[in-house]
Each structure stands twice: as structure tokens, then as C-alpha cells.
């Protein structure tokens, strides 16, 4: 370590003159992500290659994404931002942007163009849901079911409303312990048209309606709060079917050979990506921008899909998605964005949930406790 | 004693003197004072440490439960105008309020603080968050026609920062500029919040890395012209706000910057005033010709209606509820968070209960208390025999047993909680065994987790050492001869235990109960993992508001109530049992 530092120092001194024209960049970079398989995919697809190209850079990982919003706010209030780049879901990015805790970016300046020259803004398209958000992947919240627990003589579940059908598909269900997604599915299966769901959910009557529909299965639901819960519950045979992130189901099915099937109907698309904390010093900001430019280019995002079954956020990356790095299976059909999986999808409504999340959550929790 | 002797001596033969001639009483007092100061100096490092690192952050956090400066800091003029508006009416406030809102919100949007206010008000009135976000984005379009009309009269000049400065700038107008500055400083929330901030900046000063220079002292290097202030009052005001922002936020010189839309809008307003034509005609200073042209162009247009402008941005601005929320939450301090924390809210006729579908916190507080008590009681039931065994076995065996008690204590909390999941779930070890033994049928497996039962079992296990250890140390100090004496005097086993042994072990029960209860009441991770829906605690909601909803005010209110509840229980315990009767060690 000391030797390395001395070496770096010597190199710096030797290079002072020629390096003067280059922008000063910090040598340390703290990346915040989710840990687990997802962080590994980021590490392998772009952090390791970046570090290989820039040998003087030390990348430190922090697995705090789940508490990123609160911690960033605390860092900001203390006036000491220790993170350089933070991986968050889009809803959190919007919140951080609203609070002034994340830096606004200019897609065309800060992000790389597609190989064919399409601007970054067009390449990411609608996925740039906030001025501060740099999307990486599209993931979905969807259902997995135990193939060996499907009752005899019945087709495996293929419709979202099968979740609410206790007669045909008896057994416990695992649902997330929050209103988001559950309320939409409940309304959809209570006869509300897909494009009217948020209009209905905006009203107290609509919220009652959704909760009443959820009431019909409440006794048979195990409520989860961590994404790893559902695969575990499925593997243990505790539940017949349950919702979770599609990547978790992929690894349970393909990597751990569990008897689990996917039910893609009415899967909810959501985004995950980077934000740069507001108020970074110049040298650290320059380093982060350099990294982001590299890590979100077309090839890197496509590479990430070789490690985890989440769809790249760039349109231009889709054709480049290949085989799983270790299992050697084609990743295309396992992507939530694959045409046969995406026949009936929901897109997470960021504006709606930014407005109604706390209100509906309070009602939902009160309902849960009843 | 010393006093008494001194008094006696005094009454007999004047004050008693010490060796150096000073009255003994004073000399004694001085040496006692020295002693006290020395003692205080010895404790001082710890005291200061605890104050700085423990008490002040807690106080700072809890203070958020009532703090509510954000509305007044972000929309100062709007709040001022709304003072005269009666929220009971079904009408939206007058045009003046929309006008004030426009200028306030414009500055806030430029400083990117409007969304934070939106988030704050959204806690009270769902929907405001996106209203503020979208309005901040489209505010530039308000008064578009007027802005263009002014610009079209002389594009070259109006786009020049120097031209604007020649027209509006000068050496006067300090009060206006300074009030614009204080509005900006409040908006930025730059003043260090709470005692921690002050101490922190003080410490940074000492180590030579002072906090960034205060916005309220940085030089602005501009002023306003008296002529312009008389002729274009609103414009001058907005120009000052723009100037403060340009210098302090962007670090640019005002003289080189073309002002933002709000200054154009203000000018359009000034030029549309009834006596504007006369004033402009009389004006002969720099830019007089351009100003006259602009005045004529504006006169040809209908006056700006801020109300219509906001309605065009979003219809919701014509909904009085939004305005009521702004008015209701404009004071610097609010009881709102505390009301929310006990399922109440501020209604039109004062405090009222929330709708039943939103009542949750009182129930959670009750549940937390009851379950913590249940956990404490089960810890006593299980811990007492173990502690008794520990203190009465020969040392070798007792040590072995002690290791068994401590072993889980050293194991990660998460591991122990997850282990209970494996044990208790429906396909888990206990259910499998019961099914194998034929006690329950395969289809009717017991539900033992994701409910209150699971929480109580897992938490009793986790907190058990906190009960056993104080019990053990107290029991170790009870001489076994007492029991033998009682029996030799004719007591049977039960009487000897109940009348002789048990009363002496009560201090251990007291200490263990306080420890277990206070730990249990704030427990978070175990109820989250095994509590399901009916076994979660109030701390889970506090964690939700800290890390997910970011409603730190509500979290602070809930935390304060929890803290007060614990203190009250502690006080009651002291009154009933007596804290002197609590022993942590033999």
C-alpha cells in the first residue's frame, strides 16, 4: 500500500508537466450498490474493466443502496459527502433529485453516444425518468410458482388473476409488504381497465376497492420485505407462488435448479441506475463522470446482461445481449423485455407513487394490521 | 460538624481563623469548591463527549418533530399575503397571492428547492409533490407573450446584462438588496441547523478547516438605482433577487448576466401600471428610449394574470385545499407531526381523529408495549430457573452452563433470527417433527411464524441472556444457608423458596426486566423479519419513515413519544419497586 502510494506519488511528480492539460481526477471512488449478484454483475461488466484500464484508480464498494436516500440526506446535512456514485431505483432517484441531493445530468454531454451515433438521450429514451437519473437496467417484479405444487389436472398459472384464485390454485402466496404493485394487480383483477387503474387508485374509494380485493387472499399471504425472501419461501415450499424481482427467480431456477416456473403476466417494469450525489468536489466529480461515461455505454450495459437477467436500459444494447457468462445459456429469453415475456406489462408510475406513496402506505399498513 | 463547631466558636469569641488568618469558614468553603472543580474537571472529558456525540444529536433529531421552517423559508411572500386570506372560504386566494407565489416559486425553482417543499406538503396533502415539481418546470412559460413583447422592441439591448445593469443598477437600494439576500439565505437553509451544526463549525474552525464562508457575509458588488426603484419597483425587487442569486449561487457578476424571466414579468407588471406611461416619459436616464418602446408594447397587451397562468400550468392551483395546506403549515413550528403520530390531524374545526382507515400508530404503540411486556414475562419464566441452576451448581458445571447461555449471545442477531425461521415455518423443523409424530396432520400445519407468536419466541430467545445474567449475579450473592435455615425451622420447600429466597432475588428480576423491556420496546430487526403483519413494532414504522418515506419529522415525533413512554414507565417503576432495589451485580 505504502509502496503503491509512493510509486503513484513519484509517477505524479514525473508526469506533472504533461498531465497539466488533463483534468485532475481523484484516484479513489466509492460506488454504492445493492450487494449480492447484482453488484457482482456491475463489478464484472464495468468496474473491473475500468480499473484495469485505469490502474491508478481504487474502487471501493459500499452495499448501502437500500438505505441510500436516508444516508445521502444525512451526509448532505453533515456537509460531508463520502459517496461518489450511488445505485438506486428510479423512484428513489426522483426523490433524491427532488430533495436536491442528486446532481442533474445532461445526457448528451455526460453519457456516451450509441455506436451508430444516436444521441444518449434518444438511446435511453423514456427511461430517463428524472433529470438526475442515469438508467442501467430494466428489471421487473413478477411471479414465480412451484411447478410441483400445481394441482393435478390444472394448467400452471399464467394469468395475474390466478394469484387471487384460491379455489383453482390453493396455497400460500408471497407478496411484498407495501402497497406498490399489489394495489395495481388487485384492481386489475377486480375488473378495472388497465389504463384507468391510476385514476381509480387516486380516489379513496379506489384504494378501498383494491384493499377489499386483497382482503380475499389476505389470510393466505406471507408478506415479504427483502427480495431474497420469495425465492427462499418458494424453495422451502412455504408458498405456492410469490412476487419478487425477475433476476432473483432466474438465479433460483437456472443457477440453483429449483422447481420454479415464471409467470410473466402483468409484470411491473422498473428501473435501476446511478445518481451522482450533489456537491462533489471537482476532482472526484471528474473521476465519476469519466467512469459513468464508460460504464453506461452500449457495450458495457450489454455485457452486464451476461451476468444477470436484467434488461439493459439502452435500446442499442439489446441486440448485443449474448449468453450467460457461466451457464452458457442464451440470456435473451430470460429478459423481462423479451417479446414473449412482455405481452402484458405495467410500467411503474413514478409520478403517481411519488404523490400517493405515503398516504396509501399508511392505509395499507392499517389494513395489514387489522 | 465543622459548621457547627465554627458557629459555636463564632458565638463565643468572633470568627475562628485558619492558620493563614482567613476565617475558617471561608477557607473551608474554598477548599471544598476546589475539590468540586477538580472532580468536575475529571468528569469533564466524558461529560463533553457524551453531550457532543450522544445527547446533542438525539436532541437535534427529536427537534425535527416540531420544526417546520421550510414553508415560510421557501414561500415568504406568499405566506405573508395568505395571512389575510380566510381558509374557510371555498374560494382560492386573490390574485396577489398568485403573484407572490409566482415570484417565490420562481426563485425556489431556480435554487431547486421547490421540490423539497412539495415533498413536505405532500405529507399533509397527497398530490402536492408532483404539482410543485411540474409547476417548477413550467414556470418559465408564465407571461411568455409579455416577455417576448419586451424583448422584441430591442433584442440587442434587452439580451445584454450590461444594458439591464445600466437601467436598474446603481449604488443605492441596500435595504432591498439585503432583504433579497436574507430571503435567499433562508431558502438555501444555510444557517447551521441546531446546536450540532454550531459546534461542528466551531470544531472545524479550530482545526483550520472552517465551514464554507457564510452567504450572509459574502460581498455582492452591486446596488440599485434610485430612479429605477421609484419608476419600476417590482422590477427592482426582482432584479435584486436575481442579482443575489447570480452572485452567491453562480459566482458570476450581475453586470454581465441577462436576467431571468421573473424580472421580465415584473417589468411587464410595472409597465402596465396606470401611471407607468407618465413615469417612463419623464425618465431620461440610460435606456430611456428602449423603456418607452417596451412600455408601448406592453400597453398593447392585456395585463398578466398570474391566476390564469397557474391554472394553465395545473388546474389544481384553483383548488383551495392546496392553499389551505400552505397556510396551515406556514408557521415555524408545527404540532402536525405529533398529531399524526397519535392518529390525529388538524381539521377545519381544530384537532380531530384521522379516518379509521388511516389509524395505525396508537395501535402500534399499544402492541409494542403489550408484546414487550409479554417478552419480559416469558424471559423471567425461562430465565429464572436457569439462573437458579447456574448459581447453585458446582462451579465446573455452572461454567459449562454459562457458556451455553453466552454462546447464542455472541452469535449474530440475524443468524439467530433466521434460525428461528427455519425452526418455526410451516415446512420447518418443528412442524415436520409434529407431522412425523402424527400430532398434527400434513394439511393443518401450525402457523408459528410471521405473527405475534413468532416475534415473541424469537425475541425471548434473543433477549434471554439479558435476564439471566443480572438474575445470576444477584442469586450468586444469596447465601445458600438461608434456605437451609428456613427448612430447619420447619418451612417446606415452597415456603422456603417463596418467603426466603424469592424476595432476595427480586432486585435481579427488576434489573433484568428493565433491561429486557427497554431493549424490546425499541427492537426493530427481529420483528421485521419474523413479525409478519401482526407482530411488527412501532420501531418498524420509525425505520420506514427514516429510510423510505424520508418523513423524518414524523419519525422524530414517534421516537419522542417512545422515549417519553419509556421514561414514564421507568418513573412508575421507580415509584412502585424503587430503583434502589435494582441490582446489576451481587
Domain limits of chain B?
2-9+20-63, 70-198+217-353, 364-581
The β-bridge partners of A347 are A269
- The alpha carbon of residue A91 is apart from the nearest alpha carbon of chain B, in Å, by 11
Tell me which long-range contacts B112-116 makes (C-beta under 8 A, separation of at least 24). Answer: B112/A100, B113/A100, B113/B74, B113/B187, B113/B188, B113/B189, B114/B74, B115/A97, B115/A98, B115/A99, B115/A100, B116/A98, B116/A99, B116/A100, B116/B70, B116/B74
Q: Does A367 touch chain B (CB under 8 A)?
A: yes
A365/B541 CB distance under 8 A: yes
Q: Does B357 touch chain A (CB under 8 A)?
A: yes
Nearest to B357 among A70, A357, A366 (CB): A366
Hey, are the CB atoms on B450 and A222 less than 8 Å from each other?
yes
Nearest CA in chain A to B554: A358
What are the grid coordinates assigned to A250, written together? 432466474
What DSSP element (H or E) covers B265?
helix B261-271
Question: Where on the phi/psi map is residue B86: left (φ > 0), alpha (ψ -120 to 50), or beta?
Answer: beta
C-alpha cell, A13:
511528480
**Distance from the A74 Cα atom to the nearest Cα atom in chain B, whole angstroms:** 10
Contacts of B249 (CB under 8 A, 6+ apart): B110, B111, B184
| A139-271+339-369 under CATH 3.40.190.10, yes or no | yes
Burial of residue A18 (CB within 10 Å: 0-12, 13-18, 19+) is: exposed
**Record: fold of A21-132+276-320:** D-Maltodextrin-Binding Protein; domain 2 (3.40.190)
Q: CB B188: neighbour CB atoms within 10 A?
A: 15
Partner residue facing A355 (CB), from B127, B211, B363: B127
ipTM of predicted complex? 0.85
Q: What is the residue extent of each domain of chain A? A: 21-132+276-320, 139-271+339-369
Cβ distance of B127 and A357 shorter than 8 Å: no
Angle between helix B306-313 and helix B128-138 axes, rounded to 10 deg: 110
B218 class by beta-carbon count within 10 Å (0-12 exposed, 13-18 middle, 19+ buried)? middle
Burial B371-407 (b: 16+ CB within 10 A, else e): bbbbbbebbbeebbebbbebbeeeeeebeebbeebee
Per-residue pLDDT of chain B (586 residues; tens, 9 = 90+): 445 554 554 455 667 787 777 888 888 899 999 999 999 999 999 999 999 889 988 898 899 999 998 999 999 999 999 998 888 877 889 999 999 999 999 999 998 889 889 988 988 888 888 899 889 888 988 989 999 999 888 877 888 888 999 999 888 889 999 999 989 988 887 654 556 667 777 887 788 777 766 777 788 888 898 888 889 999 999 999 999 999 988 888 888 889 999 999 999 999 998 888 888 888 888 888 888 999 989 988 998 999 999 999 999 999 998 998 899 889 999 999 999 999 998 877 788 998 888 899 999 999 999 999 999 999 999 999 999 999 999 989 999 999 998 888 888 998 999 899 999 999 999 999 999 999 999 888 999 999 999 999 999 999 999 999 999 999 999 998 999 999 999 999 999 999 999 999 998 998 899 899 999 999 988 999 898 888 889 999 999 999 888 899 999 999 999 999 999 988 988 887 777 766 665 5
What residues in A contact B336, CB-CB < 8 Å?
none
Q: If you count them, how many residues does chain B have?
A: 586
Q: What is the DSSP secondary structure assignment for residue A49, as one 8-state letter?
A: H
pTM of the model: 0.86
A79 touching chain B per CB within 8 A: yes
Residues of chain A neighbouring B319 (CB-CB closer than 8 A): none
What are the distances in angstroms from CA B232 to CA A273, B279, B343, B536? 48, 9, 50, 62
Homologous superfamily assigned to B364-581: MetI-like (1.10.3720.10)
| Contact yes or no for B128 and A355 at CB 8 A | yes
Judged by CB atoms closer than 8 Å, whether chains meet at A66 and B547 is answered as yes
Chain B hits for A351, Cβ within 8 Å: 130
Instruction: Find the CB nearest B358 among A95, A97, A363.
Output: A363
| Contacting residues for A353 by C-beta, under 8 A, at least 6 apart | A91, A180
B203 touches chain A (CB under 8 A): no
Closest CA to A227 of A260, A255, A251, A211: A251
| Cell 409597465, residue located | B271
* Record: contact B130-A359, CB cut-off 8 A: no
Does residue A269 sit at the B interface (CB-CB below 8 Å)? no
Q: CB of B194 within 8 A of CB of B60?
A: yes
Q: Which residues of B touch A105 (CB under 8 A)?
A: none
Tens-place pLDDT, residues A252-298 = 999 899 999 999 999 999 999 999 999 899 999 999 999 999 999 99
User: How far B138 CA lies from chain A's nearest CA (Å)?
Assistant: 15
> Which residue's C-alpha cell is 425553482?
B109
Which triple of cell numbers denotes residue B241?
433577487
Testing the interface with B: which of A242, A281, A354, A356 to mutate, by most B Cβ within 10 A?
A354
Name the residue in chain A with its Cα closest to that of B194. A77
CA distance B146 to B265: 7
Q: Give the chain B residue whose CA is nearest to the CA of A78.
A: B197
What is the distance between the alpha carbons of residues B237 and B232, in angstroms, rounded to a whole number? Answer: 9
Contact assignment for A359 to B533 by CB distance below 8 Å: no
A33: DSSP letter: -
Which one, of B445, B431, B147, lies nearest residue B267 by Cα?
Answer: B147
- Residues of chain B in contact with residue A223, where contact means CB-CB under 8 angstroms, are 450, 532-533
HSE-CB at B500 with a 13 A cutoff on CA atoms is 20
Query: Cβ of B127: how many Cβ atoms within 10 Å?
Result: 20
Residue A368 in contact with partner chain B when CB distance is under 8 A? yes
Report the first-to-last Cα separation within chain A, whole angstroms.
Answer: 58
CA A363 to chain CA centroid, nearest Å: 26
**Inter-CA distances, B261 with B101, B102, B140, Å:** 15, 11, 6
Contact predicate B258/B147, CB 8 Å: no
Shortest distance, CA B455 to any CA of chain A (angstroms): 15
CA distance linking residue A353 with residue A361, whole number of Å:
10
Question: Are the C-beta atoms of residues A13 and A5 closer than 8 Å to each other?
Answer: no
- Whether B27 has its CB under 8 Å from any CB of chain A: the answer is no
Q: Minimal Cα–Cα distance from B513 to chain A, Å? A: 28
- C-beta atoms of B119 and A66 within 8 A: no
Amino acid at each position: 500500500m505504502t509502496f503503491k502510494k509512493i510509486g503513484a506519488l513519484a509517477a505524479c511528480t514525473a508526469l506533472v508537466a504533461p498531465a497539466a492539460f488533463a483534468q485532475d481526477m481523484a484516484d479513489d471512488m466509492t460506488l454504492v450498490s445493492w450487494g449480492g449478484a447484482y453488484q457482482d454483475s456491475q463489478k464484472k461488466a464495468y468496474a473491473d474493466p475500468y480499473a484495469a484500464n485505469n490502474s491508478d484508480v481504487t474502487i471501493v464498494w459500499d452495499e448501502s443502496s437500500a438505505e441510500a436516500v436516508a444516508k445521502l440526506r444525512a451526509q448532505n446535512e453533515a456537509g460531508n459527502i463520502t459517496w461518489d456514485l450511488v445505485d438506486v431505483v428510479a423512484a428513489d432517484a426522483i426523490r433524491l433529485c427532488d430533495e436536491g441531493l442528486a446532481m442533474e445530468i445532461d445526457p448528451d454531454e455526460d453519457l456516451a453516444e450509441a455506436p451508430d451515433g444516436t444521441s444518449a438521450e434518444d438511446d435511453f429514451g423514456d427511461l430517463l425518468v428524472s433529470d438526475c437519473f442515469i438508467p442501467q437496467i430494466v428489471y421487473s417484479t413478477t411471479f414465480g410458482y412451484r411447478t410441483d405444487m400445481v394441482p393435478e389436472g390444472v394448467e400452471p398459472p399464467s394469468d395475474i388473476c390466478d394469484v387471487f384464485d384460491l379455489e383453482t390454485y390453493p396455497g400460500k402466496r408471497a407478496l411484498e409488504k407495501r402497497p406498490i404493485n399489489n394495489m395495481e394487480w388487485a384492481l386489475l383483477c377486480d375488473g378495472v381497465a388497465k389504463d384507468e387503474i391510476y385514476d381509480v387508485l387516486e380516489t379513496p374509494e379506489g384504494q378501498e376497492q383494491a384493499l377489499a380485493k386483497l382482503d380475499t387472499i389476505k389470510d393466505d399471504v406471507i408478506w415479504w420485505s427483502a427480495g431474497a425472501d420469495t425465492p427462499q419461501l418458494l424453495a422451502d415450499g412455504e408458498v405456492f407462488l410469490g412476487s419478487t424481482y425477475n433476476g432473483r427467480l432466474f438465479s433460483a431456477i437456472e443457477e440453483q435448479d429449483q422447481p420454479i416456473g415464471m409467470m410473466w403476466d402483468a409484470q411491473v417494469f422498473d428501473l435501476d441506475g446511478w445518481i451522482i450525489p450533489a456537491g462533489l468536489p471537482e476532482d472526484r466529480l471528474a473521476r465519476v463522470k469519466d467512469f459513468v461515461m464508460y460504464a453506461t455505454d452500449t457495450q458495457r450495459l450489454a455485457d452486464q446482461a451476461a451476468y444477470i437477467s436484467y434488461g439493459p436500459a439502452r435500446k442499442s444494447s439489446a441486440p448485443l445481449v449474448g449468453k450467460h457468462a457461466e451457464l452458457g445459456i442464451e440470456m435473451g429469453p430470460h429478459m423481462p423485455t423479451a417479446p414473449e415475456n412482455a405481452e402484458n406489462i405495467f410500467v411503474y408510475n413514478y409520478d403517481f407513487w411519488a404523490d400517493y406513496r405515503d398516504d396509501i402506505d399508511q392505509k395499507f399498513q392499517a389494513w395489514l394490521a387489522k | 460538624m465543622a459548621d457547627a463547631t465554627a458557629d459555636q466558636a463564632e458565638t463565643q469569641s468572633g470568627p475562628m481563623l485558619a492558620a493563614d488568618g482567613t476565617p475558617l469558614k471561608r477557607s473551608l468553603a474554598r477548599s471544598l469548591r476546589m475539590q468540586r472543580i477538580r472532580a468536575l474537571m475529571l468528569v469533564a472529558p466524558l461529560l463533553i463527549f457524551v453531550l457532543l456525540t450522544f445527547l446533542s444529536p438525539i436532541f437535534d433529531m427529536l427537534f425535527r418533530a416540531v420544526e417546520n421552517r421550510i414553508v415560510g423559508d421557501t414561500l415568504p411572500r406568499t405566506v405573508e399575503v395568505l395571512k389575510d386570506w380566510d381558509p374557510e372560504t371555498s374560494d382560492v386566494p386573490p390574485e396577489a397571492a398568485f403573484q407572490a407565489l409566482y415570484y417565490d416559486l420562481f426563485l425556489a425553482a431556480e435554487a431547486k428547492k421547490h421540490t423539497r417543499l412539495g415533498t413536505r406538503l405532500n405529507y399533509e396533502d397527497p398530490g402536492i409533490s408532483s404539482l410543485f415539481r411540474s409547476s417548477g418546470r413550467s414556470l418559465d412559460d408564465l407571461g411568455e407573450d409579455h416577455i417576448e413583447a419586451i424583448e422584441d422592441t430591442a433584442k440587442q439591448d434587452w439580451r445584454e446584462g450590461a444594458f439591464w445593469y445600466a437601467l436598474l443598477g446603481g449604488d443605492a437600494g441596500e435595504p432591498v438588496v439585503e432583504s433579497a439576500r436574507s430571503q435567499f439565505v433562508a431558502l438555501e437553509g444555510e444557517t447551521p441547523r441546531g446546536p450540532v451544526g454550531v459546534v461542528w463549525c466551531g470544531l472545524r474552525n479550530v482545526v483550520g478547516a472552517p465551514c464554507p464562508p457564510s452567504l450572509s457575509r459574502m460581498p455582492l458588488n452591486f446596488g440599485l438605482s434610485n430612479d429605477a426603484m421609484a419608476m419600476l419597483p417590482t422590477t427592482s425587487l426582482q432584479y435584486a433577487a436575481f442579482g443575489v442569486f447570480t452572485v452567491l449561487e453562480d459566482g458570476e457578476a450581475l453586470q454581465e448576466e441577462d436576467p431571468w424571466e421573473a424580472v421580465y414579468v415584473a417589468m411587464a407588471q410595472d409597465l402596465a401600471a396606470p401611471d407607468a406611461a407618465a413615469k417612463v416619459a419623464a425618465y431620461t436616464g440610460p435606456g430611456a428610449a428602449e423603456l418607452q418602446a417596451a412600455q408601448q408594447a406592453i400597453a398593447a397587451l392585456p395585463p398578466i394574470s398570474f391566476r390564469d397562468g397557474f391554472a394553465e400550468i395545473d388546474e389544481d392551483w384553483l383548488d383551495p385545499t392546496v392553499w389551505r395546506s400552505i397556510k396551515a403549515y406556514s408557521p415555524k413550528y408545527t404540532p402536525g407531526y405529533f398529531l399524526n403520530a397519535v392518529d390525529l390531524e388538524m381539521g377545519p374545526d381544530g384537532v380531530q381523529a384521522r379516518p379509521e382507515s388511516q389509524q395505525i400508530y396508537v395501535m402500534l404503540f399499544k402492541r409494542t408495549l403489550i408484546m414487550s411486556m409479554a417478552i419480559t414475562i416469558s424471559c423471567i419464566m425461562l430465565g429464572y430457573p436457569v439462573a437458579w441452576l447456574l448459581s447453585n451448581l458446582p462451579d465446573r458445571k455452572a461454567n459449562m452452563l454459562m457458556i451455553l447461555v453466552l454462546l447464542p449471545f455472541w452469535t449474530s442477531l440475524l443468524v439467530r433470527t433466521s434460525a428461528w425461521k427455519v425452526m418455526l415455518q410451516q415446512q420447518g423443523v418443528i412442524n415436520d417433527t409434529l407431522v412425523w409424530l402424527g400430532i398434527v396432520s400434513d394439511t393443518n400445519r401450525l402457523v408459528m411464524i410471521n405473527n405475534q407468536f413468532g416475534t415473541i419466541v424469537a425475541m425471548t430467545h434473543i433477549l434471554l441472556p439479558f435476564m439471566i445474567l443480572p438474575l445470576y449475579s444477584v442469586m450468586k450473592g444469596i447465601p445458600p444457608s438461608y434456605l437451609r435455615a428456613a427448612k430447619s425451622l420447619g418451612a417446606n420447600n415452597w415456603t422456603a423458596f417463596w418467603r426466603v429466597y424469592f424476595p432476595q432475588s427480586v432486585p435481579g428480576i427488576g434489573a433484568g426486566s428493565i433491561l429486557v423491556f427497554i431493549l424490546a420496546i425499541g427492537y426493530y430487526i427481529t420483528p421485521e423479519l419474523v413479525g409478519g403483519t401482526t407482530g411488527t413494532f412501532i420501531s418498524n414504522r420509525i425505520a420506514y419513515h427514516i429510510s423510505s418515506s424520508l418523513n423524518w419529522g414524523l419519525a422524530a415525533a414517534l421516537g419522542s413519544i417512545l422515549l417519553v413512554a419509556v421514561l414514564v414507565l421507568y418513573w412508575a417503576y421507580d415509584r412502585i419497586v424503587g430503583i434502589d432495589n435494582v441490582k446489576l451485580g451481587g
